[in-house]
Amino acid sequence: MVGLGDNSNNKKNKKKKRGGTKRKMTAEQASAFKSVTEWVYLDHPNSSSSSSTTSALSSWVVDDFGAQKSLGRGMDKVLFELHSHSKHSDGFLSPSKLVERAHGRGVKVLALTDHDTMSGITEAVETARRFGIKIIPGVEISTIFSPRNLEMEEPVHILAYYSSCGPMRHEELEKLLANIREGRYLRAKDMVLKLNKLKLPLKWEHITKIAGNGVAPGRLHVARAMVEAGYVENLKQAFARYLYDGGPAYSTGSEPLAEEAVRLICETGGLAVLAHPWALKNPIPIIRQLKDAGLHGMEVYRSDGRLAAFNDLADTYELLKLGGSDYHGRGGNGESELGSVNLPVLVLHEFLKVARPIWCGAIKDILESYAKEPSALNLARIVRFSRMDSLKGTSPLSCGKDWIDRCLSSWLTTEEWQNAEFEAIRLKLSLASIDLGGVQVPIETK
């Protein structure tokens, strides 16, 4: 395992206040901050946060990591949370409560990255509108790294970040995720059997009750059942004694190969990022192989700072350096809070610089597919992260326009969506008609 090394500047600044020294933004940081802020507030064009970006930069400083800190005037801090979980996988909060808590913590952009499911995104998006938060639809995919030397085989988690329209060829990704979820049921049942053999009579019904209706149970659900049944004192003890990788009650599921998952993320218009590489036993061969498959980035930042060893690995393999709290909502001192990973402004800028062209291409592909075959069914498929009842009250003539406007206004700049390719798509849509119950009506695009 790669040594974590000293968290950058942590020892050097041990006696200083957290965050180190403060200094005014450089021209590069100011430009990056302006670009990031403009994207964050695309759907709030009249907000003070977007309109006063330039004038308010004088009230901003950055710490030793380049993270944004206000001097008490001007705008709110633009905080990204790129790793979080809800009840739709192994989190403790509903997507709505998660968004509400993120808002209370000052988060402006939240990626919901439940394990092997995107079923919580719609609820998160609807709630986020009330709080002015931008949701990045995401998922944390459970995979396996399986080299020729089977002794080096280990589980690997890949984060995928998509545009507001979600993945292209959504059915392909969902098929992969559904197969993993089915494997999670079998895996959890096998864990129960192993625990029973270890004289811990845990019941399957207890685990499914904790997981909730329709949620594929994971190790955390098993651990919670063990705590409630009194077999261990806390979650940490459940993992340390029984559920750790290779532990006496550990079991594998039907995870795809890590490189296959990375390739599928790339093919469906997503950004692929390696989650918590510090948990890997042999990170270097994994990172090298996943980079060849198309990996875009890796987590380097945690709530306690930047990990020097993984920062260097990201440099070596030319990967984006990202991070998030991995928030589950279980409480206690051992869990990082939402928004506790304060990513440097240049990191956020690089993230969006790589992600936005990918997302723009995905939105373009989805729009073109809709233009070729406009129907209520296809509309329902591509607005999968918006409740259809939110379009009630609009005429059939304008529902296509409303969806397009929603997609473009919150994710693409005026320059992006007014380019020649998007104008051509809009022209196609203006000549197309949508099939609503056998009645053909034109789609408004003006």
pLDDT at residue 48, rounded to an integer:
44
pLDDT at 198: 95
Question: Which residues are CB-contacts of 383 (< 8 A; sequence separation ≥ 6)?
Answer: 391, 403
**Amino acid of residue 45:** P
**Alpha carbon 72 to chain centroid distance?**
30
At residue 333, does pLDDT exceed 80?
A: no
Find the range with the poorest average confidence among 105-114, 261-270, 395-404: 395-404
Contact 445, 397 (CB under 8 A): no
Query: Cβ distance 231 to 111 under 8 Å?
Result: no
Long-range contacts: 35-40, Cβ < 8 Å, 24+? Answer: 35/349, 35/352, 36/78, 36/345, 36/348, 36/349, 36/352, 37/75, 37/78, 38/413, 39/352, 39/356, 39/413, 40/78, 40/108, 40/109, 40/134
Beta strand spans in 152-234 (E) = 154-161
Q: What's the CA angle centered on 323, arms 138 and 22, to 5 degrees?
A: 135
Nearest-CA neighbor of 215 among 77, 133, 117, 281? 117
Confidence of residue 280 (pLDDT cuts 50, 70, 90): very high
Q: Which residue has the higher pLDDT, 374 or 159?
A: 159
Q: What is the pLDDT of residue 39?
A: 94
Beta strands in 71-133 (DSSP E): 79-81, 107-112
Helices (H), 268-395: 283-293, 308-316, 345-372, 376-382
Helix 283-293 vs helix 308-316: crossing angle, to nearest 10? 40
Domains of the chain in sequence order: 79-169+269-342 (3.20.20.140), 357-431 (no CATH)
- Of 12-21, 39-48, 309-318, 413-422, highest mean pLDDT: 309-318
Question: Could you tell me the CA-to-CA distances from 83 to 93, 131, 276, 284 in Å, in that order?
Answer: 14, 19, 10, 22
pTM confidence score: 0.83
Query: So what's the pLDDT on residue 213?
Result: 81
- Are 81 and 119 in contact by the 8 Å Cβ rule? The answer is no
